[in-house]
């Protein structure tokens, strides 16, 4: 894939937080890695935490017990070393699993990488230097590349991804939905339309999405060419 123009991105280190359900299964590739999450029966406080069902809301619980900049840096280094040892080369961009993270983990990411590919979470405490509070973060989906308060470039993932069914109060996202979001991005000049795709899904979804975005006038480019 790299030989055909793909860019290597470190998508977390384990994509999980130990063996605990965070909040799904404790398995690599499914859970959050840089912040604790749980399942609740409502999306507003007071929260009633419960065993996960398909109708549960995914709710932030708090920072990890080891929420230390240096320890997060060591974790990032470990993941990067795995990729290098596998012969993939050194990644230069980081992507946070599920985009959930603490302020300290973001500081570590900025120290280790000059760029992130993702939707961003920003806490009300960033400018004051106070500890981040649970539920006081705000997601940002940028229409183009920005340099944010953490000190690095953010290449935006701003369309979402294809899903075939509703899960945890997230509606189905089909190619038509992603294409409509790409069209909305055109209200901003020099906008970027970016999404991700899980390869276990029908590739026709990917083809429909790519064709639809190109018909809007977008030109595909490597993420490294975004400014």
C-alpha distances out from residue 143 to 96, 175, 182, 192, 220, Å: 19, 19, 9, 6, 15
pLDDT at 177: 97
C-alpha distances out from residue 50 to 43, 164, 227, Å: 12, 25, 43
C-alpha distances out from residue 95 to 13, 34, 115, 198, Å: 10, 11, 9, 15
pLDDT averaged over the chain?
93
Rounded distance between C-alpha atoms, residue 153 and residue 209, angstroms = 26
Rounded distance between C-alpha atoms, residue 22 and residue 150, angstroms = 25
The pLDDT-based confidence of 227 (bands split at 50, 70, 90) is confident
Task: Kindly report, residue by residue over 69-86, the tens digit of the pLDDT.
Answer: 999 999 999 999 999 999
The pLDDT-based confidence of 27 (bands split at 50, 70, 90) is very high
* CA 19 remoteness from chain centre: 21
The pLDDT-based confidence of 133 (bands split at 50, 70, 90) is confident
Task: Kindly report, residue by residue over 147-205, the tens digit of the pLDDT.
Answer: 999 889 999 999 999 999 998 999 999 999 999 999 999 999 999 999 999 999 999 99
**To 10 degrees, what angle do helices 203-215 and 175-185 make?**
30
pLDDT at 226: 86
Mean pLDDT of 50-72: 94
H or E element, residue 155 = strand 153-156
Question: 37 pLDDT exceeds 90?
Answer: yes
The pLDDT-based confidence of 130 (bands split at 50, 70, 90) is confident
Task: Kindly report, residue by residue over 192-213, the tens digit of the pLDDT.
Answer: 999 999 999 999 999 999 999 9
Mean pLDDT of 41-57: 93
pLDDT more than 70, % of the chain: 99
pLDDT at 5: 83
The stretches of 30-102 forming alpha helices (DSSP H) are 69-85
The tokens of 190 are what?
């020099």
């Amino acid at each position: 894939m790299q030989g055909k123009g793909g860019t290597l991105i470190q998508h977390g280190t384990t994509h999980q937080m130990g063996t605990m359900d965070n909040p799904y299964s404790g398995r690599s590739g499914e859970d959050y890695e840089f912040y604790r999450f749980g399942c609740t029966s409502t999306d507003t406080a007071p929260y009633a935490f419960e065993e996960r069902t398909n109708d549960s809301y995914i709710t932030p619980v708090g920072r990890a017990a080891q929420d230390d900049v240096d320890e997060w840096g060591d974790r990032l280094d470990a993941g990067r070393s795995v990729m290098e040892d596998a012969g993939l080369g050194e990644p230069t961009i980081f992507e946070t699993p599920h985009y959930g993270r603490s302020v300290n983990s973001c500081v570590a990411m900025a120290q280790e990488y000059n760029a992130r590919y993702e939707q961003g979470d920003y806490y009300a405490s960033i400018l004051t230097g106070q500890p981040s509070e649970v539920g006081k973060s705000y997601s940002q989906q940028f229409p183009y590349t920005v340099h944010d308060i953490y000190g690095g470039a953010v290449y935006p993932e701003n369309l979402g991804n294809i899903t075939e069914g509703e899960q945890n109060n997230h509606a189905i996202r089909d190619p038509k939905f992603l294409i409509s979001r790409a069209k909305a991005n055109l209200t901003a000049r020099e906008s970027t339309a970016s999404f991700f795709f899980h390869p276990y899904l029908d590739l026709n979804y990917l083809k429909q999405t790519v064709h639809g975005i190109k018909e809007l006038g977008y030109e595909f480019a490597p993420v490294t060419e975004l400014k």
